[in-house]
Amino acid sequence: MNTNISGNMNKALFIDRDGVINREKGYVFRVEDFEFIDGVFEALKEAAGLGYKILVITNQAGIARGYYSEMDFHKITKWMLDEFRKKGVEITDVYYDPYHPEYGKGKYRKESLRRKPAPGMILDAVRDHHINLQRSVLVGDKLSDIEAGRRAGVGRLFLVRTGHPFYEDEVPEGVEIVDNMNGVVKMLHD
Ligand SMILES: [Mg+2]
């Protein structure tokens, strides 16, 4: 039994990036290709207002594949965080995994316990930000996002229709399917 009752009190909204925050265009790393999905600023602002810490959890196999560098990723991330800040949205942290088990080049070719569907990034965020998983939610556009959330033990799992297409009959039971981030936040009020 966990006797540390003073810890792990924060609730989090774990959010995938491509297909949830910005339009899925395949390995986005340039500002000019980064297109925010309509309504995402308002939705995240509202989620923060409901007390959720916003934690971005993103696989970045484009780094492994050599399409762009970790420096490129940090640059676009800084820009993204600034854009959110201008709209009054504070993103608490961003976690990324730059590896790929098959297509990674050099040091980036490896099986990573952080790459979704593995739960490593979520578990790191839980430790770093004292997150209560049961009170938290995860939003993704792929079943691998959902799988990572399920393995970590996130309380509610949402799949949005703004990104990668999926077949509804492949979606595991208990996963909530909504059109977009605004749909997620509506459900959080219930
Ligand atoms: Mg995605």
Catalytic residue among 18, 97, 141, 145: 18
Ligand 1 center to 93 CA (angstroms): 17
Q: Classify residue 12: in a domain, yes or no.
A: no
Tell me, what's the pLDDT at 3? 47
66-109 pLDDT, tens digit per residue, is 999 999 999 999 999 999 999 999 999 999 999 999 999 999 99
CATH number of the domain that 176 lies in? 3.40.50.1000
6 confidence band (pLDDT: 50, 70, 90): low
Residue 55's domain comprises 27-188
18 is catalytic: yes
Q: Classify residue 19: in a domain, yes or no.
A: no
Residues 117, 147 contacting (CB under 8 angstroms): yes
**DSSP letters spanning 3-61:** --TTSS-BEEEEE-SBTTTB---SS--SGGG--BPTTHHHHHHHHHHTTEEEEEEEE-H
pTM: predicted TM-score of the whole model, two decimal places: 0.95
* Averaged pLDDT score across all residues of the chain: 95
Domain tally, the chain: 1
138-177 pLDDT, tens digit per residue, is 999 999 999 999 999 999 999 999 999 999 999 999 999 9
Average pLDDT over residues 14-29: 98
Q: Classify residue 32: in a domain, yes or no.
A: yes
Q: Classify residue 22: in a domain, yes or no.
A: no
Ligand 1 center to 138 CA (angstroms): 12
Q: Classify residue 98: in a domain, yes or no.
A: yes
Nearest 5 degrees, angle CA 52-CA 58-CA 61? 180
16 is catalytic: yes
Ligand 1 center to 4 CA (angstroms): 34
Residue 27 pLDDT > 90: yes
